[in-house]
Structures are given as C-alpha cells and as structure tokens.
Amino acid sequence: MKICCIGAGYVGGPTMAVIALKCPEIEVVVVDIAAPRINAWNSDHLPIYEPGLDDVVKQCRGKNLFFSTDVEKHVAEADIVFVSVNTPTKTQGLGAGKAADLTYWESAARMIADVSKSDKIVVEKSTVPVKTAEAIERILTHNRKGINFNILSNPEFLAEGTAIVDLFNPDRVLIGGRETPEGQKAIKTLKDVYAHWVSDDRILCTNLWSAELSKLAANAFLAQRISSVNAMSALCEATGADVSQVSHSIGTDSRIGPKFLNASVGFGGSCFQKDILNLVYICECNGLPEVANYWKQVIKVNDYQKTRFVNRVVSSMFNTVSGKKIAILGFAFKKDTGDTRETPAIDVCKGLLGDKAKLSIYDPQVTEEQITRDLSMKKFDWDHPAHLQPSSPTTNNKQVSVVWDAYEAIKDAHGICILTEWDEFKKLDYQKVYESMQKPAFVFDGRNVVDANKLREIGFIVYSIGKPLDSWLKDMPAVA
Ligand code: NAD
Ligand code: UDX
C-alpha cells in the first residue's frame, strides 16, 4: 500500500512519520509545494520543533518515509491520499475574518482529480467546515469517468509540543465516511492502518458530517474551558480568590475534570480561534445566530484577557511604559514548540508597543526573523504561507530587539512579562535578575510559572494571573 500526504506542516509531517514508523510495510510520501519545507524535512534540521520527532523521522526516512516536492507523481501512485493543507481564516470577500479559506484544499482536490489514474481514498486531515466532503466529492468526481474516489474525514487531535506522544497514544482516532458499502470499505481500509498501534475501542467510526463537526466541537469546547477559567481569573483578582485554588477545587469534580484549567494570558495557536470563528460562521449561515453568539464569546473573553494583561502592565508602571525597557520572556504560543501562530505574545507586544515601550524579546525556539514578521503582519495573514504571500517582513522597529539569552533581555529592564511557560523561566536566578533591573522591578507572570512569594521576598512587585494582588497593584487604577 502507498500513502501520500499533501501538506508537510505541523500535522502532515509528524502524523505521517508516525504512520511510517508503525506500519513498516506501507510506503509513506509527504509532499508539499514549499520546496524549503521539503528540503528541511530531508535535512538534519527539521522545519518544526517537536519533542521526539527527530528520532521518529530518523528511524524511517529513506526506508518507508519520504519527503518530496513531486506532488503529482506521488499522488498519482497512492492508494490513500491524506490532505493536510492549511485551512486559514478568510481575509477577504464573503465571510472574511470568520469563514475558512478553502483555496488550498480546493486546489489540492483539483490536482488529485487531474492526476489520478486509479481508485483512491481521499482523507480530510485538515480541519474543515462541516459538509466540506460534499464539495470535495463534487470536485473529485466532476468529469472523471471510471475512477472511484472515496472521501473520509479523519480529523487530527494532536496538540503541538506533545504531538508525538499524542500520536503514539491517542485518546481516539476518528474516521467518518459515507454510509454506503464503498464508504464502509474505505473506513475499514483506513482503520486497518491505525490498528497497527491503536486499539479497536479507540477507533471511532461515524458518518462524514459527525466527524467533520466533532473536530470543530472539540476545539470549541477546549477553548471554552480556557476562556471560562480566564473569566474567573479576572473575578479572582477583584475579590482576593486564587484562580489556582478555584481550578483545583472545581477540577476534582469528576464531571469537570482537572485538565485544561490553567488560567493564562490567553490561548493561542493555529487552531482554536480559527476553528471557533469557522464554527460561528457555519452557525450564522445555518440561521442560528444565538448559537453563533455563544461561541463568539469564547474569542471575546480571550481578547479581553490579553487586553487586560497589557492594561495591568501599563497601569502598574505609573500608567505609562513609554521609553521603558520591558523584557518579554517567551513568544511561542505554548512551551515545547517554536510555533507562534496566534500566540498571545503578538497582541501583548503590540499593545505595549502602542504605549511606546521598548521590548527585548527572548524565546528559546523562536527566531528574530519570525518575531519581526509576526509583529508586522496583519491579523489572519499568518496562516497564508509565506511562499504564497507577496510581501516580506519589514524590520522598521527600533522599539524591538530580539536576544538569545533571558538575562540579556532582562538587563536594565523596568519589567518582565512572562508570556510562554518555558521551564527555564522557573529556574532563572531571580536574585541576579533583580539586581540587573531598574527599580521598582516588576514581574508580570502571564502563565503563573514563578513562585510569586519568593520573588516578593527578593523585592519584586509581582502580578500573577488570577492571584491575590500585591498592595502596590491594588493601589493602581483599576484595569478594564
Ligand atoms: P501548516 O501550514 O503547517 O502546513 C500546511 C502545508 O500545506 C504547508 O506547508 C503548505 O505549503 C502546504 N500546502 C498548501 N497548499 C498546498 C497544495 N495545494 N499542495 C501541496 N502543499 C500545499 O498547517 P498545519 O498546522 O499542519 O495544519 C494543517 C491542517 O491541520 C489545518 O487545517 C489545521 O487546522 C489542522 N490541524 C492543525 C493542528 C496543529 O496543531 N497545527 C492540529 C490539528 C489539526
Ligand atoms: C489544540 C488542541 O488541544 C488539539 O487537540 C488540536 O488538534 C489542535 O489545537 P494546540 O493548539 O497545539 O492544540 O495546543 P493546546 O495545548 O491545546 O494549547 C492551546 C493554547 O491554550 C495554548 O496557548 C496554551 O497555552 C493555552 N492553554 C492551554 C491555556 O491557556 N490553559 C490551559 O489550561 C491549556
């Protein structure tokens, strides 16, 4: 059997590497139109940072795992074609700012239709609006005689930073297909691939629309939990409750559960906002404005949390950060990834720059080029791949410097904002940090990683999300 995956990104690369590892008799080729990305997959420096990924790729690359730009050849030869291209938020036209942009998906589907000479199972790996399979089916079957295409929905649930662990041991694999004999046969074929390492009870089979919608629903529910706890964090600060204690208390209720209840500066990542906006748009298109508004609120609270954080920083520092150096520790949207898509750090940095702060940014996995690009890019442009974009990043910003050492970022700073929960930020020598900073020295912990009381003993003024406020912060003007 031959598998081809279109899209060598955060999902296509790791997912196919694990399939290749677990199914040595299957040949897996990952193809992409972005030559630099494919070159990186074929080199010692993979294009994405993901713990454990190097090891998996090294074990099977060149044996039964290949990366190629020869998209048409490998699609033509494959029995199963996964499509794992990006499905960003539309930036223009009908549904701009909400609907999923299926340009990349549609062009992949047209190409599959054009080059296929044998029957194929086409698998939606990308996250797509519910009912996309119907449209894809039309593209695939239009004008093609004698070739059978069976469409399956097989959404991916991995989280970045833990992708390999998630793929090795998934909570579930979801496969949706047509309720016809051919559809069921296609489901069985894909199920047999996963059955190499996933037990039968964890492979869920549904109809196409349930599988497509379940992916959007799962992300909406997960993001909703974070917005719920973040909304509580604002109330905690106003009342003297401690959000960690509240999270722990409610998380012990087995109906609520302890996971995904960490208050933060806001959720980021390529999926949550995009997929909820997509869900909102689908609800609106289906005449369900109340349902749309319900989910929209999850995004609004997330935006509120980021704004609230910036306001807290500015108001604590005498209502202005103009000309003050602020160290930004962490730029990735979570630890153990170099991914910055929709990271809350972008909005926080832009907010502080709007108040004329001077930022010194350090993240162990994010390059200066990436940070510069992120801070100069318009909302939603990030997921339209760089190679398809007309403009290159601008480096006009004298207010921003990017450094490769936390202590250098912090030196002479008035304040520190911790925006990613990298483990190394817990282990900094905060006595040394304090001595190198302007006084009063502030720490704004957007991830609740530092021991605030220890830092207060050293002399810092500390703000931790959703925790009782220092008297200094209480005396400053209330934040919106
Ligand atoms: P990505 O941007 O990292 O990768 C997509 C790749 O597809 C890019 O390298 C791009 O060059 C390539 N591509 C686009 N059009 C192409 C075409 N016509 N032919 C060949 N290659 C093409 O995106 P990603 O993060 O891997 O996400 C892919 C999909 O998976 C999205 O729909 C996303 O919502 C979904 N998803 C992502 C995650 C995640 O954690 N990143 C998790 C679950 C699901
Ligand atoms: C998410 C889903 O978890 C995954 O199932 C889906 O396939 C893709 O989208 P990902 O975005 O990679 O995965 O990471 P995730 O761990 O979900 O974190 C998303 C954001 O929420 C991060 O910014 C993270 O810091 C934040 N978060 C997470 C919180 O603020 N608090 C939490 O308790 C958990």
Q: What is the CATH number of the domain that holds 320?
A: 3.40.50.720
* pLDDT confidence band for 394 (50 / 70 / 90): very low
ipTM (interface predicted TM)? 0.98
Has residue 333 been placed in a domain?
yes
Q: Please indicate, yes or no, whether residues 130 and 84 belong to a single structural domain of this protein.
A: yes
Q: How far is the CA of 9 from the centre of ligand 1 (A)?
A: 5
Give the residue from 163, 198, 233 where a domain finishes. Answer: 198
Rounded CA gap, 224 and 212, in Å?
19
- The verdict on the CB of residue 447 being under 6 Å from ligand 2 is no
Residue 60 annotated among the catalytic residues of the structure: no
- The verdict on the CB of residue 95 being under 6 Å from ligand 1 is no
3-state secondary structure of 478: coil
Q: Please indicate, yes or no, whether residues 470 and 408 belong to a single structural domain of this protein.
A: yes
Q: How far is the CA of 316 from the centre of ligand 2 (A)?
A: 29
Is the Cβ–Cβ distance between 376 and 346 less than 8 Å?
no
Pocket test for ligand 1, best of 16, 84, 272 (most atoms within 8 A of CB): 84
Q: Please indicate, yes or no, whether residues 268 and 173 belong to a single structural domain of this protein.
A: no
pLDDT in the model for residue 479? 60
- Supply the pTM of this predicted model: 0.95
Q: How many domains does the chain have?
A: 2
Average pLDDT over residues 143-159: 91
From the number of C-beta atoms within 10 Å of its C-beta (0-12, 13-18, 19+), residue 354 rates as exposed
Please name the residues in contact with 19: beta carbons below 8 A apart, sequence gap of 6 or more. Answer: 3, 26, 28, 193
Please name the residues in contact with 434: beta carbons below 8 A apart, sequence gap of 6 or more. Answer: 441, 458, 459, 460
pLDDT in the model for residue 474? 78
Please name the residues in contact with 39: beta carbons below 8 A apart, sequence gap of 6 or more. Answer: none
The answer to whether residue 296 scores a pLDDT higher than 60 is yes
pLDDT of 225-248, one tens digit each? Answer: 999 999 999 999 999 999 999 999
Tell me which residue has its CA closest to atom 5 in ligand 2: 157
Pocket test for ligand 2, best of 154, 248, 271, 418 (most atoms within 8 A of CB): 271
pLDDT in the model for residue 473? 81
Q: Which helix (H) or strand (E) holds 408?
A: helix 406-410
pLDDT of 41-61, one tens digit each? Answer: 999 999 999 999 999 999 999
Q: Please indicate, yes or no, whether residues 9 and 154 belong to a single structural domain of this protein.
A: yes
Q: Which of 350, 335, 397 is nearest to 372 (CA)?
A: 397
Please give the radius of gyration of the chain, using alpha carbons only, rounded to the nearest integer: 24
The answer to whether residue 388 scores a pLDDT higher than 60 is no
Q: Can you tell me which atom of ligand 2 is nearest the CA of 157?
A: 7
Q: Please indicate, yes or no, whether residues 191 and 314 belong to a single structural domain of this protein.
A: no
Instruction: Considering every ligand atom shown, identify the ligand nearest to the alpha carbon of residue 263 and give its number.
Output: 2
- The verdict on the CB of residue 175 being under 6 Å from ligand 1 is no
Has residue 204 been placed in a domain?
no
Average pLDDT in the chain? 94
Q: Please indicate, yes or no, whether residues 187 and 251 belong to a single structural domain of this protein.
A: no
pLDDT of 311-325, one tens digit each? Answer: 999 999 999 999 999
Give the residue from 129, 164, 198 where a domain finishes. Answer: 198
Q: How far is the CA of 89 from the centre of ligand 2 (A)?
A: 18
pLDDT of 92-143, one tens digit each? Answer: 999 999 999 999 999 999 999 999 999 999 999 999 999 999 999 999 988 6
Tell me which residue has its CA closest to atom 37 in ligand 1: 11
pLDDT in the model for residue 265? 98
- The verdict on the CB of residue 338 being under 6 Å from ligand 1 is no
Q: Please indicate, yes or no, whether residues 187 and 228 belong to a single structural domain of this protein.
A: no
Q: How far is the CA of 431 from the centre of ligand 1 (A)?
A: 44
Average pLDDT over residues 337-351: 97
Q: How far is the CA of 166 from the centre of ligand 2 (A)?
A: 13
Q: How far is the CA of 299 from the centre of ligand 2 (A)?
A: 14
> What is the span of the domain harbouring residue 367?
220-475
Has residue 62 been placed in a domain?
yes
The answer to whether residue 384 scores a pLDDT higher than 80 is no
Tell me which residue has its CA closest to atom 2 in ligand 2: 159
Please name the residues in contact with 157: beta carbons below 8 A apart, sequence gap of 6 or more. Answer: 166, 170, 171, 172, 174, 215, 218
Has residue 409 been placed in a domain?
yes
DSSP-derived secondary structure letter, 124 = E
* 77-81, 165-169, 386-390: range with lowest mean pLDDT: 386-390
Average pLDDT over residues 381-403: 61
Q: Please indicate, yes or no, whether residues 137 and 227 belong to a single structural domain of this protein.
A: no
pLDDT in the model for residue 224? 98
Q: Please indicate, yes or no, whether residues 182 and 302 belong to a single structural domain of this protein.
A: no
Has residue 207 been placed in a domain?
no
Q: Can you tell me which atom of ligand 1 is nearest the CA of 158?
A: 42
Has residue 211 been placed in a domain?
no
Q: Please indicate, yes or no, whether residues 275 and 325 belong to a single structural domain of this protein.
A: yes
Q: How far is the CA of 159 from the centre of ligand 2 (A)?
A: 7
Average pLDDT over residues 70-76: 98
Q: Can you tell me which atom of ligand 2 is nearest the CA of 337?
A: 12
Q: Please indicate, yes or no, whether residues 259 and 194 belong to a single structural domain of this protein.
A: no
The answer to whether residue 398 scores a pLDDT higher than 90 is no
The token duo for 156 is: 């991916």
The DSSP result for 11-71, as a single string, is THHHHHHHHHHH-TTSEEEEE-S-HHHHHHHTSSS-SS--TTHHHHHHHHBTTTEEEES-H
Has residue 480 been placed in a domain?
no
- The verdict on the CB of residue 108 being under 6 Å from ligand 1 is yes
- The verdict on the CB of residue 86 being under 6 Å from ligand 1 is yes
pLDDT in the model for residue 480? 56
pLDDT in the model for residue 476? 74
Q: Please indicate, yes or no, whether residues 52 and 180 belong to a single structural domain of this protein.
A: yes
pLDDT in the model for residue 227? 98
pLDDT in the model for residue 471? 82
Has residue 327 been placed in a domain?
yes
The answer to whether residue 390 scores a pLDDT higher than 90 is no
Highest mean pLDDT among 99-113, 137-151, 462-476: 99-113
Q: Which residue among the candidates 4, 5, 236, 271 is catalytic per the annotation?
A: 271
- The verdict on the CB of residue 261 being under 6 Å from ligand 2 is yes
pLDDT in the model for residue 143? 64
Q: Strand 203-207 relative to strand 173-177: parallel, antiparallel, unpaired?
A: parallel
